[in-house]
Amino acid sequence: MATAFLDHPRPLAFAHRGGAAHAPENSWRAFEHSVGLGYRYLETDLQATADGVLLAFHDRTLTRVTGQQGRVSRLSHAEVSGALIEGTEPIPRLEDLLGAWPDVRFNLDVKDISAIAPLSAVLRRTNAWDRVCVCSFSASRLRATRRVLGRPVCMAASPWGTAVVGLGGPRGRRDWLGPGRARPGRRPSPRPLTEWLARTGVRCLQVPASIATPSFIGRAQALRLQVHVWTVNERPAMERLLDLGVDGIMTDETVALREVLTARSQWHPR
């Protein structure tokens, strides 16, 4: 079921990019550190190599975090494997991460259209459908992912879908994961919000802290949508958002979030 990913006591604690405050982002060392702390939810990003190997990697190019040149989608995995995050850490494959911790769940940000088909293949091989939530800043990538996967998984709304929920209803678009297209000669027909949610698999809204107002949180939760906030690294902000009733926090500062939640008797480790 698309809701199985979220079946855990709230608030959910997400290690953003594996917990990038304590080890290089999206590295094995970061993921291992967060899992060792008790994190059940790891957030990461998806890029695919030219030969279809799916990587936990944020940028389209290698330059920022490895110092090497080249766009990931235009390089083979053999070529990419020589690049090291911050000069020390190999770039993990998603399939290896899923296999390493069978009880851990992964929030997956699809960063490029080339990652969609490899994601479907990895989920089929690992049968990890209920252990992932798919998100993207691109509404078109989310629509394409939904088509290629061919079965329900938990999804977070795109910024377009989040805006629709925030505004409280449709504005004449047919597909609320993004600006839809009406059939030629026909006027776009809005659908009930609950029908859209059921059809798309959207189960949560993942937003920056500035969006998470009391009214927004209340509107989303009234629709049985969880609200996850990113990327929250300061303790006062964590406390404030938890007081507002958010359902999850994504952080680089995994030690700090664990301490805040523990003090509030809201830490629910794996």
Residues known to be catalytic: 16, 58
Query: Residue 198's closest CA among 217, 179, 176?
Result: 176
Angle 159-167/139-149 helices, nearest 10 degrees?
110
Angle (CA) 20-11-250 rounded to 5° is 20
Query: Residue 251's closest CA among 124, 104, 107?
Result: 107
Element (H, E) at 47: strand 41-48
The dihedral sign for the CA sequence 121, 31, 104, 140: negative
Query: Residue 249's closest CA among 202, 217, 201?
Result: 217
Query: Residue 247's closest CA among 263, 222, 259?
Result: 222
Residue type at 3? Answer: T
CA-based end-to-end distance of the chain = 20
CA distance 126 to 211: 35
CA distances from 195 to 169, 170, 203, 252 (A): 12, 11, 12, 35
